Chain A
């Protein structure tokens, strides 16, 4: 029972990440009709916002370690700690939450710049051209990050107070052994919040209604005299923010490296397509579905019956869903 419950939590948590990444991807495809292979790179950039904020907060006074003579090793004390003592330590400790506030404007700017500078010239081009140019862009972004931050993962811990695990078991009156990391619970909560916000935005604002109408029938909306182009630019910015935030928040779980975007890229395409290309609700549903199935497939009990099922479960589910439902879970014709 405990084992099942905890795997559901794992699945929801994974699903939250998948859904967040897939949401932006399907938004861009649905409204702009662009197959964006650089979407994984946006996720990665979000994570590196966290790294950058942490680096800035920990700019340190360096005292040379005299015991080491062959090269320069420094004992580092962040200026924030020197100036403000415990308050400074606390600020550094909260680097990741602080990054969220930085990531929103930064990712928005990156998204807008990408759309205005490159993507908009490709609206009328074929899928093939879009794939090559966005793939090229993803590689360039990756390499720039690699040149500046190196190839190794960089630790970006969660604040001390939520670094450990929450006693989920005792909350629910189950065993005390049932614990779950605070940060993963926060991530799940955060993912649901962001997803709800995006949905509310698209459903209850005039802007959102125009965008949704545009997704449905771009030409008619254009004929109505509405400047759909500008709205699409903002949609791209929004997608960049969602992907970026997914990355920023993920850093305590996964120390970021320059390659992490590519690791999630293929998966996010699978999620989007299983959900139904261009369907926001579908992407979210598929994200959670695949996350939960993947968690269950990894259980020893399951693996002993079906060896290596955890290696292929996502793709197997994708095949089955697409054969049963031609346009994915919630795709429209």
Chain B
């Protein structure tokens, strides 16, 4: 298929952007009057189709959002047949031919979620109402993902979630119009627990510090469940305010608690702060119950982990993807991204890039942009060559099931990007959970697709 794709593009990046204009200036179709003229929301009528990239551009996750946006631009480029084609050369099966989707060129609009649910919905609504976006994708938090996903479901627009890790997104808050490629807290727990057991033994007493909101609770629950099944005990699980920056008052009780493992159910800035401070309190130099004290960070983000500096060395965690992977798909993506921007992509960039490609490919396979047909094309879809081995979009909850990476902060890094080393690729079978879980967070109603 790669014959169709130019291996090298003479178009500069800005040259490319020039041809991908959408939104504010051009396309403000007065939806007011023509609402019923469409068979479905924002049916593309012209020679182009508009994707909506809704990412955090301000606030603590601005860096992750910027990386997501880079990945999306790259995806659009590849779908339209510019650049080196990236993962289009490796994904299997593939229907995209590098000439857009269903004969239409892909253009895009962008917005700022601010990592706040109301702002993210406002931004998504603008893309749907004003800019005529056929699909919304992106985001860096589960709260935002769930909020935007239900908006899109109501509006009849497909939502391809970005970085969201709480079970809820495809659990109790799953929606027919929403899809998640990223892994979740349940899988992190299932993948991490056996490694923790083999590294630290099964006689461990764990102490959890948990960010006090949905994702934190979800992560705490999963790690507890899976480690306790292997013989660990949980000494305490303490909730910390989301906006906390000084964790000293939560860390000091750990010192005398008798616990010998500290699990930090913190993400992003919370994680950087609590890990830095925990190490300062000498936790890693301690001996408790005759064993070395250990710290675990269930969800690692390389982008953010950099903020914790040397503190991450030797710390175990899990991640959805890392640029150092050697499979064909990852290599193709790192190559495109690296040569375009001069540095490797983050896991957020990876999942967003894959989501954009998967959506476009599903439209191509369906031969239409009608959400009901595209949903049908994505449900139960099995694919490979996109960096995570064989993957399946489970039809029952729209969650991707795939291998999970267990990683460790690298002791001797060779560059500023070389922070994580992959300890284990936990196969899909070990992290997959049945659709009939007892836990209320795991069961939900997808709702149905509406044909007008």
Contacts and interface: CB of A to CB of B under 8 A. Distances in A.
Direct interface between A and B, CB < 8 A: yes
Interface of A: 2-3, 6-7, 10-11, 13-14, 17, 65, 67-76, 146, 150-155, 157-158, 163-165, 175, 177-181, 183-184, 252-255, 257, 259-260, 263, 294-295, 298-300, 303, 308, 310-311
Contact of A255 (B238, B243, B308, B335): B308
A300 B256 CA distance: 13
B231 interface: no
Given A10-B252, A255-B272, A73 B304 contact: no
9 contacts: A6-B252, A65-B415, A70-B337, A74-B415, A151-B59, A181-B280, A255-B276, A259-B60, A298-B249
Interface residues on B, range: 35 or more
B63 A150 contact: yes
Given A254-B245, A259-B60, A263-B245, A73 B306 contact: no
Interface string B183-211: 00000000000000000000000000000
A157 B415 contact: no
Contact of A153 (B236, B281, B307, B339): B307
A292 to B, nearest CB: 10
Contact of A3 (B243, B248, B253, B273): B253
A180 to B, nearest CB: 8
A69 B285 CA distance: 38
Nearest to A252: B280
Interface string B394-437: 00000000000000000000111110000000000000000000
A165 B245 CA distance: 20
A150 B307 CA distance: 11
B309 A255 contact: yes
Contact of A152 (B241, B303, B310): B303
A73 B414 CA distance: 8
A327 B337 CA distance: 59
Contacts of B269: 153, 257
Nearest to A72: B342
Contact of A259 (B59, B280, B341): B59
Nearest to A163: B280
Contacts of B285: 164-165
Given A164-B285, A181-B281, A295-B249, A73 B415 contact: yes
A70 B344 CA distance: 8
B282 A300 contact: no
A311 B335 contact: no
B282 A164 contact: yes
A157 B253 CA distance: 23
